[in-house]
Chain A
Amino acid sequence: MNQAEDHNLLEAIGGAPLAETANVVEVTDLHKWFGRNEVLKGVSMTVRQREVVVVCGPSGSGKTTFIRCVNHLEKIQQGRVMVNGHLIGYREENGRLVSDKEANIARQRREIGMVFQRFNLFPHKTALGNIIEAPVQVRGIPEDEAIEMGRKLLTRVGLAHKEDAYPAQLSGGQQQRVAIARALAMRPAVMLFDEPTSALDPEMIGEVLEVMKELAREGMTMIVVSHEMGFAREVADRIVMMDDGLIIEEGTPEHFFTNPQQERTKSFLSKIL
């Protein structure tokens, strides 16, 4: 395992970000409808500090919707999402939940890093520009400090030579590594990965997974929606299986791969392993 200084991702952002609570993410009885279609039917999940949870399941099972609810990219209709001790997207008034102000939601999202399937880098900004944008514009960090941190991050995801490259000049794997660095630059308490490798050519998946494994080893709290079972086996503390809007099984990788209880899990694993 390469723990050399030049790979240390969290050191680049000034050490592991402080989580304020033992449970970084607490989702309780989450329900989500798209119109009349209930895509999440009461999902609860707790993620402790430094824990890595991999969420898998067939397409349409609601796993991407679930992770998007955690940082309120999707409105929820019932239940609650707490991150780092803060209620996300809503505030409590007389025991009822009401939609929070956009400014508050934005503030809460600083604590939550998100990596998208399609990278979503800003095409009009360079690799370094993408990374420093939010620290400077949102956190108000002085630009030279942000640049210094951004360069460190780029070095540690192996892209020091690409700081002036625009996203269109980078391969998919390189773009996704920049996207991870961009999310990390906000010093989030938890990182969400929404199928981070499924839009990549097969030969580029490895380089992205390496960065994610490194991050996991350094103790970043992570929720990863992925079908990369090798990754799950290696770094996950817990694997969660979703089907039809519900968590149907969860456990350690050993339990999950050697002794799954649900028929649905068994058949799913047999198809993707």
Chain B
Amino acid sequence: MTGPRRSRSIGAPRPAYAVGVLVLACLLLAGCSNAKTSFQFQWPLFFQSIFGPDNQIKAGLVLTVTISIAAQAIGVVLGIFAALGKMSKVLPIRWFANVYVWIFRGTPLIVQLVFFYFGLGVAKIYGWPDLTIGPLTIEGAIQAGIFALGLNEGAYMAEIVRAGILAIDPGQMEAARALGMTPGKAMRRIVLPQAARVIIPPLGNEFNNMLKTTSLLFVIGVVELYSTFNIKQGEDYRPFELYLACAVWFLLLTTIWGFIQSWIEGRLARGTPGAASSSGPSLRARMLGLRNASGVGH
């Protein structure tokens, strides 16, 4: 086996390596333009979309990242409540949480999106008016998108959070309660902080997904990153160059996130030596598709 290469075969490569591969791929594709085809590649359009993005692309990028963060935040909060709900002793709460997870994991996100935006709107249940907070106006479609993505994400996070909580030794809850903590306080102060360490790697994976899933919002007319490029290619019919550039932008976002994620995990592992061993690099690598950061090993 080929030593260092092999250990990085799982996920996102090092920056230099990544750039190298991309340049190589571009050159190869550029070579294709010399072949006997009637199609002429317009590489300047591609490179300009990457290295000199216009304001539309920039706005799309900002929107994609903002929506992802907002929806993921909603998803995490809902996921925690749904996970606690699924484990509740009270039957109606358990029932409610289970039904929520069942519905949102069991139906396509795109259907949820159009239902919440068009369905609720046309039925005059909620028309998604624009929302103005200070200097900022949020379009109704963006609100609906964040809402639907967040609800959908919460259902997936519920299982992740639940698994994280169940991974914690029941002795921790007992010790906390023996010290006089109420179940809620024991959960907040003792169990959840420990579960967070188990949850972070799959949470990172979810956010990676979220960044890409925002592209579905084009169906309700949100001009995020994908939609921006979609409109552009409609204008000058250059789908090859523009969709390729779009893909590179998404790859860039997820790659940057990959580095942020491994940095966060490294910090978590440093802060608490006890827990670091329980979620070793192999688990992280598997769940996240991240390289084995050199700082993780003990």
Q: A residues touching B (Cβ–Cβ < 8 Å)? A: 71, 73, 102-103, 106-107, 109-110, 112-114, 116, 118, 120-124, 133-134, 137-139, 166-169, 182-183, 186
Beta-carbon contact of B172 and A166 below 8 Å:
no
| Chain B residues within 8 Å of A112, by CB | 178
| B174 within 8 Å of A (CB atoms) | yes
| Nearest CB of A to B191, in Å | 10
CB distance from A123 to the nearest CB of B (A): 4
Is the beta-carbon distance between A183 and B179 smaller than 8 angstroms? yes
Residue of A nearest to B183 (CB): A102
Main secondary structure of the interface of B (DSSP, over half): helix
User: Which 6 A-B pairs give the minimum distances between C-beta atoms?
Assistant: A168-B274, A123-B274, A120-B175, A134-B179, A110-B180, A114-B178
**In angstroms, how far is the closest chain A Cβ from the Cβ of B175?**
4
Chain B min CB distance to A199 (Å): 11
A186 interface neighbour in B180, B194, B277, Cβ under 8 Å: B180
Give Cα A112–Cα B183 distance, bound, in whole angstroms. 17
- Compute how far the CA of A68 lies from the CA of B97 in the bound complex, rounded to whole angstroms: 32
Contact with A120, one of B171, B183, B185 (Cβ below 8 angstroms): B171
CB-nearest residue of chain A to B186: A106
Choose from A71, A102, A118 the contact partner of B182 (Cβ within 8 Å): A102
Residues of B138-181 whose CB lies within 8 A of A: 169, 171-172, 174-181
Contacting pair B274 A109 (CB below 8 A): no
CA–CA, A17 and B295, complex, Å = 47
The answer to whether the Cβ of B275 comes within 8 Å of any Cβ in the partner chain is yes
A122 and B169 alpha carbons, distance in the complex (Å): 10
**Cβ–Cβ contact B189 & A116, under 8 A:** no
A to B CB contacts below 8 Å, 18 in the list: A73-B177, A106-B182, A107-B180, A120-B171, A122-B175, A122-B194, A123-B194, A123-B272, A123-B274, A123-B275, A124-B272, A134-B176, A138-B181, A167-B274, A168-B272, A168-B274, A169-B274, A186-B179
Given A103-B182, A120-B174, A124-B194, 4 other A-B contacts at CB below 8 A?
A109-B178, A110-B180, A122-B176, A122-B190
- Asked if B193 lies at the interface with its beta carbon under 8 angstroms from chain A, I say yes
Which of A110, A137, A139, A183 has the most chain B CB within a 10 Å cutoff? A137
A124 CB contacts on chain B under 8 angstroms: 193-194, 197, 271-272, 274-275
Q: Which residues of chain B are near A166, meaning CB under 8 Å? A: 272-274
B171 touches A106 (CB 8 A): no
Shortest A194–chain B CB gap in Å is 10
A120 touches B179 (CB 8 A): no
A20 to nearest B CB, angstroms? Answer: 17
Per the bound structure, the CA–CA distance linking A106 and B197 in Å amounts to 27
Cβ of B175: which chain A residues have Cβ within 8 Å of it? 114, 116, 120-122
